[in-house]
Chain A
């Protein structure tokens, strides 16, 4: 097992390299010029060139990339082109806000989607299934920013139950305050995740119900709920683990839209600002960090697999 983990971790290196090359190429191909944000109309051309030179942006793109990768190899994520703060510091500063929000949203989505998916699958084409299906279709198709504004309007403006945005009341440092601010964004995000999860679990439940072990349980006269929650559940957990592994990327990349709408100070909204300002080092840092988490999440998911389903043998 240990050997496997080491091998998998080593395999991430070429993958990260590939990600960084693709990401860097795309940034370079995208229109826009970071120097523009420093330029004023009456600036002399040589002043503009000096800024470009100081930022190292006058070098050919591949040289810029090599400098970046060389620094990366030494653990230096570089500095933002816009505010000159260290990239890693900015990511780590925003990480807790995103991890807390995404973590709780994913947990909430999983906890709700498992029973909903099981019930929908077991009652295929009956009203419960149709209702749950309807909800998940709404979840998949509704724009989250719209749902966010709707909930904000309802719970903050009309009912005065919750704050509309931000992560804290100004000057207040308490967990309860953060929690209160987190309810709306967490619900919106959970609803988005939930919809996808329910669809997966439903179809996997339908598949499992056709299996022989289920027929045998029926033959033994087990109750339907016992079959569902004691036997089918175990099998259904497999796709959930996959989904969780896949969600690790989101955990860091954050839900860009939700964070922006709720002014949640996470990595998603940081990434949005970085992209707007063509802040190359920050965009690269965030992308790489997310990729790393995604690869890591998949590794953990694969390891968990072998515990949940002993038939699966891990082979690197």
Chain B
């Protein structure tokens, strides 16, 4: 019996070891924006051909293939091919998918959505205004636990959707909200005829065989192995070129890169350090594209020392650092990260990088610290252990701040513990943390990050002027006035330095040269391709 016991303890220890080095949450914020592909045109004379298949490498199993619940990167990626959105926005321009038009009323309180006619679900049923209304109702239904629900509340008042006729839906807003379009971008109708009698849609067994409206329909899923979609001939955007698309689950990045080289995977995310290896094979297009994400160093003004509540100190600390050096340290080259100054990302409406910045002036940093009456400053920097970029940057920051007489203590912790501490608005035992966000293209989304006491204001930034501007911007329908508001807000926030913006990071994707139509498919953050129907095999 003793033997057995020691074996059991060994298993428990194993569980413990793994849990100790486990990652945080995998959920990616659904991004609602993108930039056009920096891809190359197919060689002249080669038109798109039909047939063939594509294998996309993904790092995990999808959690749930239902757009009302998909929050993880893999589910969002697969849903993009399985379910068509109403419309998408790239660089401020709308591309309509299921929708034909979206028109606001004169008072901007009613939006009328027209659907394309003749739309069908993968099972042949008609896709109508009923499905759209049903989807919104289910998002708003508290019992259904859709994380999109918060987006459909404006000051706790719900946005309502009503059917006018089979192809028309009317949305009523409780107050003017130009960000409504960005909310609608994230909505992908789910079929009413499938889910109307389900009490708990998230847990419904019907999600195991999803019925969508996108260019590819569900074929088979082998848990832990792969998920295959096949062509949907009645896709409203025209018959897709490829016969099938498979998402292959490859959990280990090194192994996935080998599978890519071996032709077992055709599309795969790359870490910048692996780019040269894959490029050397000459078989792949390497496409870095903006993911609409800001990576930044956060100053916690709420720490028990209270020292970072002074903006002069935050400015001085920023001056002690060099953005270009950090980019080199963390992203190997500026090719994969653009220097950032504004809290908005370049894909956001009214973005400007022409704002005050505090960067790379150690002498002035010292002066300012002295002027602020701060000496022997000690800061605590929380770092996710095992996160190479964070470890490298934190060491760099420690060394640079030492040069201006600031002592930085690195507090390394497990990533789940880190996340818990970071999002805990009451945490007062650290001053510095590295992180990033993807907030989508409408600047109103950033309100929760920078208004006093807001739900995600982790840096505890408080400036009444900024509060006023961001609240005005949320309800301002006139684009010109709105542009002014956000330009001003960007300037003030940059001047107050609640965060030290580092870079607008890019995703790098490798795609086998056997495939074309990349530009039409539009590379998109999180989901890779906006419209897979346009990809063809050469």
A204 within 8 A of B: no
Q: Which single member of B10, B226, B416 contacts A32 (CB below 8 Å)?
A: B416
Interface residues of B, dominant DSSP: mixed
- By a beta-carbon cutoff of 8 Å, the part of chain B in contact with chain A is 1, 3-5, 7-8, 10-12, 14-16, 18-20, 22-27, 29-30, 55, 60-61, 63-64, 71-72, 142, 145, 147, 149-151, 153, 202-203, 220, 222-226, 228, 246, 248-252, 254-256, 258-259, 261-262, 264, 413-414, 416-417, 419-420, 423, 437, 439, 445, 448-449, 455-456
A264 to B248 CA separation, bound complex (whole angstroms) = 12
A210 within 8 A of B: no
Proximity string of chain A (148-165) to chain B, C-beta cutoff 8 Å, 1 when within and 0 when not: 110011001100100111
Q: Which residue of A lies closest to B200 (CB)?
A: A84
The answer to whether B414 touches A43 (Cβ under 8 A) is: no
Complex interface: chain A residues within 8 A of B220 (CB):
171
The answer to whether B255 touches A275 (Cβ under 8 A) is: no
The answer to whether B228 touches A170 (Cβ under 8 A) is: yes
Q: Which residue of B lies closest to A163 (CB)?
A: B264
A104 within 8 A of B: no
The answer to whether B26 touches A287 (Cβ under 8 A) is: no
Complex interface: chain A residues within 8 A of B61 (CB):
83, 273
Q: Which single member of A26, A39, A166, A287 contacts B264 (CB below 8 Å)?
A: A166
A76 within 8 A of B: no
The answer to whether B250 touches A165 (Cβ under 8 A) is: yes
Q: Which residue of B lies closest to A32 (CB)?
A: B416
Q: Which residue of B lies closest to A148 (CB)?
A: B255
Complex interface: chain B residues within 8 A of A163 (CB):
262, 264
Proximity string of chain A (267-296) to chain B, C-beta cutoff 8 Å, 1 when within and 0 when not: 001111101111000010001001100110
Given contacts A32-B416, A249-B7, contact A42 B445 (CB under 8 A): yes
Complex interface: chain A residues within 8 A of B222 (CB):
168, 265
Instruction: Please give the number of chain A residues whose Cβ is less than 8 angstroms from any Cβ of chain B in the complex.
Output: 79
**Shortest CB distance A78–B (Å):** 13
Complex interface: chain A residues within 8 A of B30 (CB):
40
| Residue from B14, B29, B55, B449 having most chain A Cβ neighbours under 10 A | B14
The answer to whether A84 touches B203 (Cβ under 8 A) is: yes
Proximity string of chain A (30-60) to chain B, C-beta cutoff 8 Å, 1 when within and 0 when not: 1111001111111111010011001000000
The answer to whether A38 touches B15 (Cβ under 8 A) is: no
- For window 136-180 of A, CB contacts with B under 8 Å fall at 145, 148-149, 152-153, 156-157, 160, 163-168, 170-171
**Shortest CB distance B24–A (Å):** 7
The answer to whether B145 touches A50 (Cβ under 8 A) is: yes
The answer to whether B420 touches A32 (Cβ under 8 A) is: yes
Complex interface: chain B residues within 8 A of A145 (CB):
252
**Shortest CB distance A297–B (Å):** 8
The answer to whether A253 touches B14 (Cβ under 8 A) is: yes
Sample of 18 more A-B contacts, CB < 8 Å, known A145-B252, A298-B7: A26-B12, A84-B202, A149-B254, A153-B258, A156-B258, A157-B262, A163-B262, A166-B226, A170-B248, A256-B14, A262-B255, A263-B224, A263-B225, A263-B252, A269-B224, A275-B22, A276-B26, A298-B4
